Structure 1
Amino acid sequence: MIRMSTTLEAPAATRGLVEITKVRKTFGPTEVLKGISLTVEPGGVAVIVGPSGSGKSTLLRTINHLEKVDAGFIAIDGELVGYRVKGNKLHELPERDILKQRTEIGMVFQNFNLFPHLTALENVTEAPVVAPRPGKPRRSQAEARARGLELLDRVGLRDRADAYPRQLSGGQQQRVAIARALALDPKILLFDEPTSALDPELVNEVLDVIRELAKSGTTLIIVTHEMGFARDVADTVVFMDQGQIVEQGKPQDIFTNPQEERTRSFFSKVIEPAFNI
């Protein structure tokens, strides 16, 4: 139960509006998120960068309630994530309702998390059959298979539909994971360092798929250490450090003319000199 500090007003009908308001999260004695507020417009692409331990991945995991917030709240299209309002307090939803909300929030993890005993196609089709989005009927096996093949084709893997994860490269497994995240037609896609577990030569095949998704109108929130990719794909770049948003803005502004000294210091260490030419 969390006391509300700000009134949440439902916006006009949208699809994929993310509102993060004064979110705090503590692990033991360490406050990992220190009052984070961030809005991502429908269809927007927000890329979160910053040093290790800055709270980026924790923030991402609060958006689909994989991590519970200690204060503040998160809303998608005006609906609170993980909580309901009673009086002036937030009460956590039952797990079944949280799971329903998560069907509208696709997430791609660092380490693929594919089911090893299922083929690529079966990994993609499992959720639409077992746990469809609220208000949508379960797909038949035939419908799910047809949609799954479409999604594998979209990520360039239709010819590997019957392969098991162990038979796929890391880049291919991550592309299957992206297809799986798309299978429920989510409002939002979250990416947590989607290339960090890949060999360098496999990174671009995954980034190319995400670049195409960025043009699709789905809201994307991406945590990454790939600065060139961030500059290329983002509408908004968010720089975090020590549990706070230090600076945010358009990529051309953040990368070429950051206003905060901490931002300048970070980019001077992670961006090659040629990047700004």
Structure 2
Amino acid sequence: MSTRATEIPTAPAAVHQDAGITRGLVEITKVRKSFGATEVLKGITLTVEPGGVAVIVGPSGSGKSTLLRTINHLEKVDGGFIAIDGTLVGYEVRGSTLHELREKDVLKQRTEIGMVFQNFNLFPHLTALENVTEAPVVAPRSGKPRLTRAEARERGLELLDRVGLKDRAGAYPRQLSGGQQQRVAIARALALDPKILLFDEPTSALDPELVNEVLDVIRELATSGTTLIIVTHEMGFARDVADTVVFMDEGQIVEQGSPKDIFTNPREVRTRSFFSKVIEPAFNI
């Protein structure tokens, strides 16, 4: 178990906020992360309000996916801290030191943070329905009762119906298209009723004709009141769904703002340069 001396959180929400006042408030404060001698995140500070949709864009290697993985402690931060609804992620404060939580406690925290990966990560030996129902039975979200198999099945069918795949409940991943597998992965992420949902380039592994079926599901989720943080290269989609667009480059947030501000009138030269290369001219009309 690791410890590290750091600036102890003193923000109004972080640590001191009573549980239950908010649902899905994400506070990222001065987060740093290095791999060897390479500093990948250089003091990232970002707040996503409950029910907000933050879309993170930027060039490859800018630290977008690493930032996403620190939110559920898949990557341990080297400095700074992350809090969800006022509770630190991955650490607890003892005196003037942050102590890393035990793995079982980190796993409990992760039940409140759904994550959808680039490559689906479904269990190949389980059907679509079994992929969705496994977690609520085996590892329910902290504070929630473990579902019976019958209850989990009913809930799983509801979620598969929500992503348009109830009729494929008995299919195995190998029998599904990439877009269908990703929609099952989204249903699985929803199964524990998470406070926030993280999407790491959810369409990057899909054939172009399958992209929209996944984006349409995420568009519906964006209106559901669940906090979403999405890393994507789909700029039109980002403009459609985001409350806040965050542009990252070289491990830093270059600028952030509303989709209109970021896409049509970015302040920073680096932002303008990036969008000039990735957005069709007609996009700005």
User: Shorter-chain TM-score: which interval?
Assistant: over 0.9
Contact 2:9 2:81 in 1 (8 A): no
1:105 to 113, 118, 124: 113
Q: Is 1:155 the counterpart of 2:157 in the alignment?
A: no
5+ unaligned residues in a row in structure 1: which ranges?
A: none
- 8 A contact 2:136–2:152 mirrored in 1: yes
Q: Which residue identity does 1:214 align to in structure 2?
A: A
- 1:26 corresponds in structure 2 to 34
The answer for the alignment partner of 1:67 in structure 2 is 75
The 2-side partners of 1:150 and 1:165 are apart by 19
Q: Secondary structure at the residue paired with 2:209?
A: helix
The alignment status of 1:114 with 2:116, answered yes or no, reads: no
Q: Partner of 2:53 in structure 1?
A: 45
1:134 Cα shift?
1.1
Residue 265 (structure 1) aligned to one of 267, 273, 276: 273
Q: How many residues matched?
A: 277
Whole-Å separation in 1 of the counterparts to 2:7 and 2:168: 50
Q: Aligned AA for 2:199?
A: F
Structure 2 Cα separation of the partners of residues 2 and 177 of structure 1: 35
2:97 matched to which residue of 1?
89
CA shift, 1:4, in A, is: 2.6
In 2: Cα distance, 1:201 partner to 1:53 partner? 26
2:148 corresponds to: 140
For 2:176 and 2:212, the matched residues in 1 are separated by 16
Partner of 2:213: 205
User: SS state of the match for residue 59, structure 1?
Assistant: helix
2:128–2:168 Cα contact (<8 Å) kept: yes
Q: State the 4+ residue runs in structure 1 displaced beyond 6 angstroms.
A: none
Question: Within the alignment, does 1:275 sit opposite 2:283 as a pair?
Answer: yes
Please tell me the root mean square deviation across aligned C-alpha atoms, in Å. 0.7
Matches within 5 A, 1:167-182: 167-182=175-190
Question: Are 1:7 and 2:13 counterparts?
Answer: no
CA distance in 2, matches of 1:107, 1:261: 32
Pairwise mapping of residues 188-267 of structure 1 onto structure 2 (< 5 A)? Answer: 188-267=196-275
C-alpha separation in 2, matches of 1:34 and 1:76: 21
Whole-angstrom distance in 2 between the partners of 1:3 and 1:267: 39
Cα displacement (A) at 1:11: 3.3
